[in-house]
Amino acid sequence: MTISADTLFRTLADPTRLRALVLLLLEGELCVCELTFALGESQPKISRHLAQLRESGLVSDRRAGQWIYYTLSPELPGWVRQVLTVTVEGLASDTLYQNDRKQLCAMPNRPGARCCA
C-alpha cells in the first residue's frame, strides 16, 4: 500500500477526521456510533469523514450485522504509522482530544462486544 504525503496531510487537515483517527489509534476499533457519541457530531457527518478516511487508505472497516466498525488499516506504511503515533503523542495534553477520550469512556451502554444497541 502506498499513501502519498499529500494525501496523508490533506486528510489529517480536517479536525473531525483527525479527532476520529486519534481515537482509532488509541482505542483500536470503534463503531460509528462510538465516534458519533465521542465527537458530538451527527452520524451522517461522521460516516462521510470515515468514508474519506477509508478512500485515502488510512482506515479499514468491517460489517457486523447492521453496524460498521473502523480501525487503522493494517497495511499502513511504517512512516504513516510513525506520523500518526507522533501526532497522538503531541496531542496528548490538548483538552479537545482529552475530552473526546473522556466522552467515549463515559458513553452509556457502551457494550464490551463493541455492538451498538
Query: Which residue ranges make up each domain of the chain?
Result: 5-105
pTM of the model: 0.90
Assign 3-class secondary structure to the chain.
CCCCHHHHHHHHCCHHHHHHHHHHHHHCEEEHHHHHHHHCCCHHHHHHHHHHHHHHCCEEEEEECCEEEEEECCCCCHHHHHHHHHHHHHHCCCHHHHHHHHHHHCCCCCCCCCCCC
CATH 1.10.10.10 fits 5-105, yes or no: yes
Mean pLDDT, rounded, for 1-30: 95
More confident residue, 102 or 114: 102
Cα separation, 72 vs 105, whole angstroms:
20
The single-letter code of the amino acid at 94 is D
Q: What is the pLDDT of residue 117?
A: 39
Mean pLDDT, rounded, for 13-28: 96
Phi-psi region of 40 (alpha: psi -120 to 50; beta: other; left: phi over 0): left
Q: Which residue is it, cell 451502554?
A: 109
Q: What is the pLDDT of residue 72?
A: 97
* pLDDT for 86 beyond 90: yes
